[in-house]
Structure 1
Amino acid sequence: MGADVIMPFGECTEYPAGASRGRQSMELTLRWAERSKRYFEQHKQEVPWCGQYSAVSVQPMQDRVAEARDLRISREPGKTAQNDNSENGNSVGEGQHQSLFAIVQGGMDRGLRRESAQRTIEIGFPGYAIGGLSVGEPRALTREIVESTIEHLPQDKPRYLMGVGTPEEIVEYANLGIDMMDCVLPTRAARHGLLFTSQGKISIKQARYASDEQPLDSNCGCRVCRRYSRAYLRHLYASNEVLAQVLNTVHNLSFYLDTMRAVRHSIRLGARGRSASADRTEQP
């Protein structure tokens, strides 16, 4: 299919899980990583990355990941960004074929996380994902595990946090040094009528929006906010119209894109902690 980044299988442990279960999952994930890399190295030229899409459509994605990584490195004391095209580098910006990242597992055990990171790095990948989180653990514990795992990941490779998160979490983890995140939340929430705005979350299914002619978010320039009122969106949802899910999804994805633009802007400015996107996503 020509995806920019592909992942090997990784097993998430349930929460809570004991040390033996965490090790079992980690070892399985490591075996999959080794097998996936062997196969990838043998067949990577069979799916030419640049042959699938034009350079115009793909290059900006590469540049954004590399830029975020380089800016992150440059603002860490004593660190400078370097381009690494070695066997263990094969950076996202190389542009010759897809990139195979690897997943660090280990449950909520910091020792297993450290071991998983070290052994995965020994195999050698152009980027590293932190997996196995957001499986029911307290949010504070998620942050602790992310922070402790980041310490063991290369400074000059993209760091990808899987399954996270809310707009607030995106800002939080970007400030910790995470470069990439993914989550089903904007589309899942849209299907259930939950919409993200600069004034906080809105449940459009509520009756109080039935006669509300305001745009969904006056600070949003997406096609939904420019054209439709809250009352109309509520009517579509209450009528079980598929269009409700479509429009809700368009808005939520636009809000997430705006959040990421604000995060990148704050990185360029060298801002830490509170960023422009944090201001956008505060609850009223």
Structure 2
Amino acid sequence: MKFELQVNDQKSKARAGVLYTDHGLIHTPIFMPVGTAGTVKAVHQRELKEDINADIILANTYHLYLRPGLQLLENAGGLHKFNGWDGPILTDSGGYQVYSLAENRKIEEKGVTFQSHIDGSKHFFTPESVMDIQRSIGADIIMAFDECTPYPCEYEYAKSSLAMTHRWLKRCCARFDATEAKYGFEQTLFPIVQGSVYRDLRKESAEFVAGCERDGYAIGGLAVGEPAEMMYEMTELVCDILPTDKPRYLMGVGTPANILESIAQGVDMFDCVMPTRNARNGMLFTTQGIINIRNEKWKDELTPIDAALGGYVSTHYSKAYLRHLIHSKEILGAQIASVHNLTFYLWLVRQAREHIQAGDFSIWKNSMVNKLMTRL
């Protein structure tokens, strides 16, 4: 796996590059649609390729481990064969799910005991087992097992958690390096920077993670409730430390404005459930601003959802028709809205890439941020 940095913006820290994987190229900056259980909710793989034009999707270790289970995935030849997606896949290690299951898990040095949200059964994750699970799932990019601290978080807890996350990272690297991919294509491991919102801890973690000398790096533990400005501050600090010749992935972020501001800080890769989750509730992101399609004002609006965006879904269906589907609780409404929002997110990062290459990213970004936050 190789990352080629192609262009650095002259007036910000934004970059454009290409990440080469055995399942295809990833052009950065990139947004990764979230397919937690091996599927991007309400979206066909064909739509991901042909309409949304996704380079890579994300799946989740915790959920796939519980259901459908590793044996079936191995029998199928890995997740690519199981779900029919032939592009790159990144798997989250399950660390965030462990964080979100605070009442049903126990964290100790060896690993984490947790209860399944499906049937209450008990399971035990270690840094080693999580590497093995992701090998079996067949991800192109495997994430290290870490603890995601909440916000707010006391300094001493954040410091203690970070030290354990670093010890876990050493174990992840050792296990990953001692094992091989199962399905004949290359897999790579991304360590994760933690440290809550404390500058000294973030600096310590970024330096430690950079010293692992991996093919890419992630920034975790943000977008968990802290103010946006604090997230940007931590992101900039970390990006200034991480190697310039490797991709940087900001986990779980975020709104269109968050993404543009973080690209300006030097981030290359993003994921978030927002475009699909909000779509199912009737919130649409468009090139002109945010639409709540449930509102009465769209009832008779027969213009396309977003003519400027392009793509079959966004230009073929009207706002009035989509509003009718959403109010009628028709499944097609969730499908159309989800494909539209993901098409918008991929359009946004590709526009950012084009403006980085053209040398006017900062001017374009500043005008877009205000527009994208407007409620129509």
Aligned equivalent of 2:250: 161
Partner of residue 221 from structure 2, selected from 132, 145, 155: 132
Q: Is contact 1:3–1:98 with CA below 8 Å preserved after alignment? A: yes
Sort the Cα spacing of 1:206 and 1:170 in 2 relative to 1 into closer, same or farther, 3 A: same
Q: Could you tell me how far 1:24 is from its partner in structure 2?
A: 2.1
Structure with the bigger percentage of helix: 1
Of the candidates 262, 268, 277, which is equivalent to residue 351 of structure 2? 262
1: distance between equivalents of 2:210 and 2:308? Answer: 43
Deviations along 1:180-238, one digit per CA (max 9) or x if unpaired, are 11111111111111001111000011122111111111212122222211111011100
Aligned to 1:100: 189
Q: 2:143 matched to 1:7?
A: yes
Alpha-carbon distance between aligned partners in 2 of 1:161 and 1:278, rounded to the nearest angstrom: 23
Contact 1:110–1:149 (8 Å) recurs in 2: no
Q: Deviations for 1:58-86, whole angstroms, at most 9, x for unmatched residues?
A: xxxxxxxxxxxxxxxxxxxxxxxxxxxxx
Aligned to 2:286: 197
Structure 1 length-normalised TM: 0.79
The 5 A counterparts of 1:23-42 are 23-42=159-178
For residues 212 and 288 of structure 2, the distance between their equivalents in structure 1, rounded to whole angstroms, comes to 45
| Separation (CA, whole Å) in 2 of partners of 1:147 and 1:226 | 37
Q: 1:253 maps to what in 2?
A: 342
Q: Tell me what 1:66 maps to.
A: none
Q: Deviations over 1:6-38 (max 9, x none)?
A: 101222111111111111221222122212211
- Matching residue of 1:217: 306
- 2:177 is matched by which residue type in structure 1? E
1:42-67, CA deviations, whole angstroms, 9 ceiling, x for partnerless residues? Answer: 22333432xxxxxxxxxxxxxxxxxx
Partner amino acid, structure 2, of 1:249: S
Query: Normalized against structure 2, the TM-score is what?
Result: 0.60
Seen in structure 2, the aligned counterparts of structure 1 residues 174 and 3 have a Cα distance that, compared at 3 Å, is same
Percent of aligned pairs with the same residue?
44
Residue type at the aligned position of 2:331: V
Q: What secondary structure sits across from 2:315 in the alignment?
A: helix
Deviation at 1:276, TM superposition (A): 6.3
Instruction: Tell me the residue number matched to 1:69.
Output: none
Contact 2:254 2:271 in 1 (8 A): yes
Provide the residue aligned with 1:281 in structure 2: 372
Whole-angstrom distance in 2 between the partners of 1:45 and 1:199: 44
Give the superposition deviation at 1:264: 0.8
SS state of the match for residue 211, structure 2? Answer: helix
Do the aligned partners of 1:130 and 1:162 also contact (CA within 8 Å) in 2?
yes
CA contact (8 A) 2:254 2:272 kept: yes
- SS in structure 2 of the partner of residue 189 of structure 1: helix
Q: Distance in 2 between matches of 1:276 and 1:121?
A: 29
- For the residues of structure 2 that align with 1:147 and 1:215, how far apart are their CA atoms? 38
**Does structure 2 retain, via aligned residues, the 8 Å contact 1:107–1:133?**
yes
Deviates more, 1:34-43 or 1:260-269: 34-43
Alignment RMSD: 1.7
Mapping of residues 48-197 of structure 1, within 5 Å: 48-49=184-185, 97-197=186-286
Counterpart amino acid of residue 167 in structure 1 = P
Q: Give the structure with the higher percent strand.
A: 2
Partner SS for 2:250: strand
Does the 8 Å contact 1:262/1:277 carry over to 2? no
Q: Are the equivalent residues in 2 in contact too, given 1:262–1:275 (CA < 8 A)?
A: no
Once residues 214 and 321 of structure 2 are traced to their aligned partners in structure 1, the CA distance between those partners, rounded to angstroms, is 48
Q: CA deviation at 1:261?
A: 1.0
Find the aligned partners of 1:238 and 1:102 in 2 and give their Cα distance.
Answer: 43
Give the structure 2 partner of residue 79 of structure 1: none
Q: Whose relative contact order is higher, 1 or 2, with alpha carbons under 8 Å and at least 6 apart?
A: 2
Q: Which residue of 2 aligns with 1:45?
A: 181
Deviation at 1:175, TM superposition (A): 1.6
The residue aligned with 1:59 is none
